[in-house]
Structures are given as C-alpha cells and as structure tokens.
Amino acid sequence: MRKVIVVLVVILTAAGLYAWKGMADPIMVSLHTVDQGPVEDTVANTRAGTVRACQRSKLSMQTGGTVEALMVKAGDRVEKGQLLLQLRDQEYQAALDQAKANLQVVLQKRAEICYGADRDLREQSRQERLAAKKLTSEESLDSAKTRAAMSSLACKAAEAQIEEAKALVKLSEVNLERTRLTAPFAGVVAEINGEVGEYVTPSPPGIVTPPAVDLIDDKCLYVRAPIDEVDTAKIKVGMPAKVTLDAFRGLSLSARVSRVAPYVQDYEKQARTVDVEVQIDQVPEDLNLLVGYSADIEVILEHHSGVTRIPTEMIMEGNTVLRFNPESKVLEKQVFTPGLSNWVYTEIISGLSPGDRILAALDTEGADEGVVVIPEESTSSQSPDL
C-alpha cells in the first residue's frame, strides 16, 4: 500500500511539474530550421600543421670569396637561371683567359707538327718511288719511313694536347661559374645572408651554416600535419581535403592528399600520429599565403550531397533534439537516426524533415522538454505591429 502511495505521489509531482512548465511564462529561444545540403565524413589533424613549399632551396656558394654584387633583395621574385649573387672573379677570369690562350698555342703547334707530318709522308712516298727504280739507297728509304712515322705520332700527340687544353678551358669556366649563384627555379627570395664586401665560405661537410640565399617556390604549396594513427588508416593519396588557416579566419582552400607518411611518429607523452601532406589546388592571387603559416587540414573520406542535415552542436545525448511544435508552442524531444557526421553538420536519415524547427542553442536557460517558447524571429516579425 505504501509503495502504491509513493508511485502516485511521483506521478502527481511529474504531472504538476509538466503543467507548471506549460503554465509558466514562455521563454524566448532561437530556432534552427532543418534544411538540406552536403555532409562530409572527415578526419582532421591532431596538432596544427605547417604550410610548406613544394620547392625550397637554401643556396650556398660552392667556393669562397668576397661578395662583388647582390642582384636581388629579400622579397624579390626571380626566374629560373637568374643571377642572384656574384663573387669577385678576377682570379678565375684570368685563369680562364690563360687557358684559352694556351689552347690557341696548342692549336698552332698542332698545325705545325701535323703539317710537318704530311711533308714527311710525302717524302716517304717519293723515296719509295725512287727505290722502285733503283735510284735511291735502302738507307735513304728507311730514314724517310722513320721520319714519317715519328711525325705521325707527334701529330697524334698534338691532337691529345688539344683535348687537354680544351678540358682546362672547361675547368676554368666551371671555376668561374662557381663565383655566380643562380636561381635553380622560379620563386621568391625569402632571405639573403651576406653583404657586398663580405667574405663568404661554403659550408664544411657536417656543419650547417646560414645559406647565402633562401629561395622558395611559392606557386606550389602544401600542408603537412599530424593525424591520429587510427584515422590515417582510412586516408588514401588523391582524396579531397580542405585547408584552413589561423591567419585567415573563415577561409577554406581546396586541396588533395599528396602523401601519407609510411611510418608512425612515436613521441613521448603524445598520441602516435602519421604525417599527412595535402597539396593546395590553387591559391587566390590576392591571398598572401606565406610559407610557415600554421594550418589545419580536413581529409574528406565520404561526401553526400542534398541530404537532410542539422548542425552537430544542436544534438543532445542519444541522438535527440528539442523540436518546436508550432501548434502547442512547446519544445518536444525528438529522436532521429544519424548518417554521416562531422563537427559542423550531421546527416539525418529519419526522425526529422526539412522545415522542422529545433532548438538552436542548447545552453538557453530554461529551454527544456515541455516548455512553452516564443521563437525569436516570430517576436521580431510581430514587433512592427505592436
């Protein structure tokens, strides 16, 4: 009997509470109208990624020397092969001039030697004709043949000396070229280390020194970011992605997955992650997107277009929402079946239809199931008539 009384009290209390809610003054709430649109299943990075250039070269001189001229300054855009920095090259230029002069000497010497070889060969032929007629001695014929053979060998040696002289010219040209720093690709100069008159040296093996010129190809950019090892199992090269940046709030750039690292990063006190790279499809011309910016990536695993959807932030526990009943003006709990979901939108399979209105802000004070409410937009639309 006592249990029956307790149950009745609970029922009456609940009924009274429900009636009190209905009788209480309506509260003003913001409602969201269920609509249709795209919903994507995505995975995102666990820590901020970084904007990088597809090509970036920290250029250093191949030889030491004093800076004669700087042809560019930081921020300049350059073309492939453009001269960036010039060292004093008088010594190397003199060596090249000497090598070219030596080549001319060798060429002249070779002409003289080979001309003599032709003359000796003709003399050999003459002696052979005379010997056939018994008009010369065997000693004279042997002497002519020996001179012709020696002259032919000297001519061939002169040809080899010419090749050696040409190689010396080439070496001198290479040494002279090492005093010039040119752009290996088109890009923008990020940094210059050195001034006119300063002495620069190449980096010794194993010792990192500041580059003479830091060159960046800013026309091809990508983002590298760590993604949890569990999520990366779903990612494939070529999948579409989105890039957002802290420096440009509200901007989203389209991209494609270009690389998934073949190993897992294992840092102490951090979740295990895999580096994923996405290449930005096209950077707007008016966007000053700098290498080194922090960036986030979302890899799109699946995409549904034209589906019923609601903002994910409006969902309560158990896949429920508070739906507005336009007849009773009361909030009613509604269970729905979700489909694809991300942190922005959730797809609705069943339970809600386009045009339904649900509570937009779950933290609205007093907004609960069974409460009479007044939509904010309804109040504003009636205000001119008041």
Mean pLDDT of 56-80: 90
Residue 377 lies in a domain: yes
Could you tell me how far CA 210 lies from the centroid of its own chain?
A: 22
Question: Among the three residues 165, 200, 235, which one is the final residue of a domain in this structure?
Answer: 200
Mean pLDDT throughout 94-119? Answer: 91
Amino acid 11: pLDDT? 54
Do 306 and 355 touch, CB atoms closer than 8 A? no
Local structure of 374: helix, strand or coil: strand
Q: Is position 279 within any domain?
A: yes
- Beta-carbon contacts of residue 320 (< 8 Å; ≥ 6 apart): 333, 334, 335, 336
Q: Give the mean pLDDT of 264-289.
A: 85
* Section 374-380 average pLDDT: 65
pLDDT value of residue 21: 47
Query: Is 183:78 a contact under the CB 8 Å cutoff?
Result: yes
Helices 138-177 & 90-132 angle (0-180, nearest 10): 160
Range of the domain at 185: 61-87+179-200
Instruction: Please check whether residues 125 and 79 belong to one and the same domain.
Output: no
Indicate whether 299 and 225 sit together in one domain: yes
* pLDDT at residue 14 greater than cutoff 60: no
pLDDT of 145 reads 87
Q: Which of 5-14, 151-160, 234-243, 361-370 comes out lowest in average pLDDT?
A: 5-14
pLDDT of residue 378: 47
DSSP secondary-structure letter at 312?
A: G
Residue 199 CA to its chain's centroid (Å): 34
Whether residues 230 and 280 share a domain: the answer is yes
Could you give the 3-state DSSP secondary structure of residue 103? Answer: helix
- Is 212 contained in some domain? no
CATH code of the domain covering residue 275: 2.40.30.170
> Is residue 147 domain-resident?
yes
How does pLDDT run across 173-226, given as a tens digit for each residue? 999 999 999 999 999 998 898 889 888 887 766 677 788 899 999 888 999 999
pLDDT per residue as tens digits for the range 30-47: 999 999 999 999 899 988
Whether 309 has a pLDDT exceeding 50, the answer reads yes
Q: What is the mean pLDDT of residues 126-153?
A: 86
Give yes or no: residues 75 and 96 share one domain.
no
376 and 361 in a common domain: yes
- End-to-end, the C-alpha distance of the chain in Å comes to 56
Q: Among 356, 311, 362, which residue's Cα sits nearest to residue 33?
A: 356
Task: Assess whether 94 and 136 both reside in one domain.
Answer: yes
Instruction: Report if residue 373 sits inside a domain.
Output: yes
Q: What is the mean pLDDT of the chain?
A: 86
Residue 289, φ and ψ in degrees, nearest 5: -85, 110
Residue 129 belongs to a domain: yes
Return the CATH number at 184.
Answer: 2.40.50.100
Same domain, yes or no: 226 and 289: yes
Q: Answer whether 321's CB lies under 8 Å from 310's CB.
A: yes
* Structure tokens that stand for 334 in this block: 């509604």
Q: Per-residue confidence at 284, pLDDT binned at 50, 70, 90?
A: confident
Predicted confidence band of residue 377 (pLDDT cuts 50, 70, 90):
low
What mean pLDDT comes out for the span 98-105?
93
Would you say how long the chain is, in residues?
A: 386
Give the model's confidence band at 2: pLDDT under 50 very low, under 70 low, under 90 confident, else very high. Answer: low
- In the chain, the number of structural domains is 4
**One domain, residues 183 and 285:** no
Instruction: Let me know whether 288 and 323 are in one domain.
Output: no
pLDDT grade for 274, boundaries at 50, 70 and 90? very high
User: What CA–CA distance (Å, rounded) separates 5 from 64?
Assistant: 100
Residue 379 has what pLDDT?
38
CB 117 within 8 A of CB 152: yes
Q: Please indicate, yes or no, whether residues 309 and 374 belong to a single structural domain of this protein.
A: yes
Domain of 361, CATH number, reads 2.40.420.20
Q: Where are the beta strands (DSSP E) in 240-293?
A: 240-245, 248-260, 273-280
Q: For residues 245 and 276, state if they share a domain.
A: yes
28 within domain boundaries: yes
Report the chain's C-alpha Rg in angstroms: 43
- Residue 193 and residue 136 share a domain: no
Whole-structure pTM over 0.75, yes or no? Answer: no
Model pLDDT, residue 325? 94
List, for residues 335-374, the tens digit of each pLDDT value: 999 999 888 899 999 999 999 999 999 988 888 999 999 9
